[in-house]
Amino acid sequence: MANPEGSAEAQDGHLREPLRESGENLIKQVASAFNGKLNILVRQGSGAIYAANKAAINQLSKYLAFEWNNIRSNNVAPWLLANKELLDKIICRTPMKRIAEAHEVSSLVTFLCYAASSFLHHCTSYFC
């Protein structure tokens, strides 16, 4: 979901009972470690609204992890995916001195769907 309102509406209104009835017990959301920092790095204005939306999605996931008991709720929060135009402006501020590849993020999302991750509950994984 792109914003907290969409996430909350989809989960409260449409996911809770179907998940319980089906026996599924996992909600995956994509938040962000980015939090609007790119706008500051490349001087494109404030990223405050973007950052607030992603922080709200993180909090929603945390709330659902406790409120919905046996339904796990996890976030995946990538920094940036490789983009040649932005690489030079960003790489110096990235702790790993490189940008994540899409397969690195998608591998975690896949893992969260398997039973091997069944004890992960309210996990936000930062890729930076």
β-bridge mates for residue 26, sequence order: 72
63 given a catalytic annotation: no
Beta strands in 1-128 (DSSP E): 26-30, 72-78, 124-127
Query: Residues 50, 63, 114, 126: which is the catalytic one?
Result: 50
Spatial strand order of the sheet with 26-30 comes to 26-30, 72-78, 124-127
Q: Quick check: 52 and 101 in contact, CB under 8 A?
A: no
One DSSP character per residue, 77-95 reads EE--B--HHHHHHHGGGST
Q: Which residues are catalytic?
A: 50
